[in-house]
Structure 1
Amino acid sequence: MSKTKWRSVDGIVLLNKPIGLSSNQALQRVRRLYRAAKAGHTGALDPLATGMLPLCLGEATKFSQFLLDANKRYLTCIQLGKRTTTGDREGEILSDEPVPALTDAELEAILDRFRGEIEQIPPMYSALKHEGKPLYEYARQGIVIERKRRQVMISNLTLVSRTDDSLTLDIQCSKGTYIRTIGEDIGEALGCGAHLKSLHRVSTAGYSPEGMLTLEEFEAIAEQGEDALDAYLMPMDSAVEYLDRIELPAQDTKDMLFGRTVASPISLADDSLVRLYDQGSQRFLGLGKIRGENIRPQRLLNTSESAHK
């Protein structure tokens, strides 16, 4: 088997992650298709989950944290009446209780408790680490670690449909939100328990779901050659579009790329991050940080090689 010849390729692609693969397994498959020397994903989806997984290739990995920290939107189906060890359908059933008959108004009153700023206790079956080890490793050994409550923001929670024993919800939330925990907590509020039956991430950071491709679609495009694949790369600055944009004249561009502080043409609060561009070529340079009336280099692209997409 021939050894892969990796190449320098920069940009972001949106994968519609299939069920059954870990986020890293999915990432590696796309990375091999692109032969990308460097790649990273932007917030893991469990193997059970499907949907949007932005993948950062090459220099775009410098901005993956911004997508990790971004708001996300999910479509989830919650199975009522059954608690499981993992909080989703892959776990063993711990209890099986009747689901109370609720009017739409009664159900809405309960769902309303989970809108706005709420507190969650992260689940034991999660990748959060305790003493360098993921919590799920302790959970598999039957060890329970005390977890601190955390505040998250649920900016939208809409009941899409319901059956006698399930709820389908559309949820928009802040980083660090565990949809599985919302499902379990709704089950507790109903008094019957619940677990996640399915989870699909609709979008991250405002990226449109229409831009997602499945693994099969990426593989079909790859058969047409790398130029065809590269046509699906989104620009790196799409990860930070919400930041203020500053265009630097030629000398300031040169100074910035040498790691020097330059004067800021606009007034912003200290420590504000800004997108930097070369005024002449409109090329994205990376990020700077406002300090007083100046801009300091913060996270710049390596301009020595690669045709930044």
Structure 2
Amino acid sequence: MSKPPRTRFRSLDGILLLDKPRGLSSNQALQRVRHLFRAQKAGHTGSLDPLATGLLPVCFGEATKIAGGLLGARKAYDTVARLGIVTDTDDAEGQPLRERPVPALSIDAIDTALRALTGRIRQRPPIYSALKRGGEPLYAKARRGEVVEVEEREVDVHAFELQAAADLLDAGQPLLRLHVECGSGTYVRALVRDLGEALGCGAHVAELRRLWVDPFREPKLWTLDDLQALAGRGERGLDACLLPVESGMASWPEVEVDAAQAARLSYGQQVSGGFRPPGPVAIFDPRGRALGLGEVDGDGLLRPQRLFSWACTQPDVPAAGAR
């Protein structure tokens, strides 16, 4: 039996807003998309659990250089909490640890518990998580049966709100439908777990969907089926799904440099010009094309951090050390 032909990868730059399906890990979804696009280099920003669906930004080529900034962006989710059962993973994929009766709950009591988990809070991440200790993910240790102690850490929960409780209040399934907006490092599974404890019955995530990630607040999402259908008609249709690298840079303040300054930056030199504000910035040329990421110090000097390949091909470069 002959082997399928090996994928011939190509250079490709841009951002795909993938609608990750349930049942795939983020890396499995990434690899499928990478092979569909035949992209030499690809990475995703912010893992979604296999149970979760929704927005998974996939960065191709030079866009991988801004992926770290997207990881720390504000995100929004809709989730369904199943009350009364605690699992080892804090979601429906895990093994039940204990079951408790669900008490009679009012909307006021639920809202009070939600408010206590909103703002700058301390959260203990799930033991089944990708956080690393000693260079190894915690989930690998947990799967081996090792005792895993996870320290609490501060996270930002901008919104934790009840959308519907009809399932619970109508004596149906003990489900709460919730909306979450949070910052980097926040685990929705842990929020739901802690909500269940506050309500006196425990809880786990039954469903989870990521709605948006800054700066993609109203994303046009592409499913794997969408992309597979487009791939059958040629790569031009696939490539039309990609957003430019610049679309992912809205979270950084912009600074503009001229051709001479761009040339110096391309050789790793800092440039003066009274740049503002201090801190990480997105560097653009006068035509509005992004050149990469930089850092502005307190004196207004701009230093290159991660420049795109097209920014590193400047023909006329001043002598080293020049400003």
Shorter-chain TM band: over 0.9
Q: Does 1:302 align with 2:312?
A: no
* Map of 1:289 onto structure 2: 295
Give the alignment partner of residue 55 of structure 1, picking from 55, 58, 61.
Answer: 58
Q: 1 CA distance for matches of 2:193 and 2:51?
A: 16
TM-score when normalising by structure 1: 0.94
For 1:197, what is the secondary structure of its paired residue? strand
Moved more, 190-199 or 203-212: 203-212
2: CA distance, partners of 1:198 / 1:267 = 43
- Distance of 1:304 and 1:33 partners within structure 2: 28
Aligned CA distance change for structure 1 residues 210 and 130 (closer, same or farther; 3 Å): closer
Question: In structure 2, what is the equivalent of residue 199 of structure 1?
Answer: 208
Question: Is structure 2 residue 23 aligned with structure 1 residue 23?
Answer: no
Select 1:39's aligned residue among 16, 39, 42: 42
- In the alignment, what sits opposite 1:113? 116
Aligned to 1:259: 268
Q: 1:106 to 1:34 in 2, by over 3 A?
A: same
Q: What corresponds to 2:185 in structure 1?
A: 176
Q: Which of 272, 278, 285 is the equivalent residue of 1:278?
A: 285
Residues 246 and 276, structure 1, Cα contact 8 Å, conserved in 2: yes
CA distance in 1, matches of 2:109, 2:20: 35
Instruction: Tell whether the 8 Å contact from 1:97 to 1:192 is kept in structure 2 after alignment.
Output: yes
Aligned to 1:128: 131
Aligned residues: 303
1:305 Cα deviation from its structure 2 partner: 9.6
Q: Structure 1 stretches of 5 or more lacking a match? A: none
Aligned counterparts of 2:187 and 2:200: Cα–Cα separation in 1: 20
**Which shifted more, 234-243 or 184-193?**
234-243
1:12 aligns with 2:21: no
Question: How many Å apart are 1:265 and its aligned residue?
Answer: 4.6
What SS does structure 1 have at the residue aligned with 2:30? helix
Aligned equivalents of 2:143, 2:69: Cα separation in 1: 31
Verify: 1:91 aligned to 2:91, yes or no.
Answer: no
Equivalent residue for 1:159?
162
Q: Indicate conservation of the 8 Å contact 1:264/1:290, yes or no.
A: no
Q: Secondary structure at the match of 1:90?
A: coil
Structure 1 segments, 4+ long, off by >3 Å, are none
In the alignment, is residue 185 of structure 1 matched against residue 194 of structure 2? yes
Q: 1:17 to 1:120 in 2, by over 3 A?
A: same
Identity %: 45
C-alpha displacement at 1:239, in angstroms? 2.0
| 1:209 Cα offset (Å) | 4.6
User: Amino acid of the residue matched to residue 295 of structure 2?
Assistant: K
Residue in 1 aligned with 2:239?
Answer: 230
Q: Secondary structure at the match of 1:263?
A: coil
Secondary structure at 1:303 match in 2? helix
Contact 2:262-2:311 within 8 A present in 1 as well: no
CA distance in 2 between counterparts of 1:178 and 1:11 reads 28
Q: Tell me if the contact between 1:124 and 1:144 (Cα under 8 Å) persists in the aligned partners.
A: no
Q: Give the C-alpha shift of residue 260 in structure 1.
A: 1.8
Quote how far apart the aligned CAs of 1:4 are. Answer: 1.4
Taking the aligned partners of 2:14 and 2:49, their CA distance within structure 1 comes to 24
Between 1:33-42 and 1:281-290, the stretch displaced more is: 281-290
* Letter aligned with residue 122 of structure 2: E
* Contact 1:127–1:134 (8 Å) recurs in 2: yes
Worse overlay, 11-20 or 102-111: 102-111
Query: Are 2:214 and 2:251, in contact at CA under 8 Å, matched by a contact in 1?
Result: no
Q: Structure 2, unaligned stretches of length 5 or more? A: 169-173, 314-323
Question: Residues of 2 paired with 1:53 and 1:194: CA distance?
Answer: 26
Query: Which secondary structure state, in structure 2, belongs to the residue aligned with residue 211 of structure 1?
Result: coil
Q: Distance in 2 between matches of 1:62 and 1:103?
A: 48
Distance in 2 (alpha carbons) for counterparts of 1:305 and 1:30? 28
> How far apart are the structure 2 equivalents of 1:15 and 1:101?
40
**Equivalent-residue separation in structure 2 for 1:10 and 1:46 (angstroms):** 26
Output the amino acid matched with 1:74: Y
Instruction: Assess, with a 3 A threshold, how the Cα gap between structure 1 residues 66 and 288 changes in structure 2: closer, same or farther.
Output: same
Query: Contact 2:78–2:209 at 8 Å: present in 1 too?
Result: yes
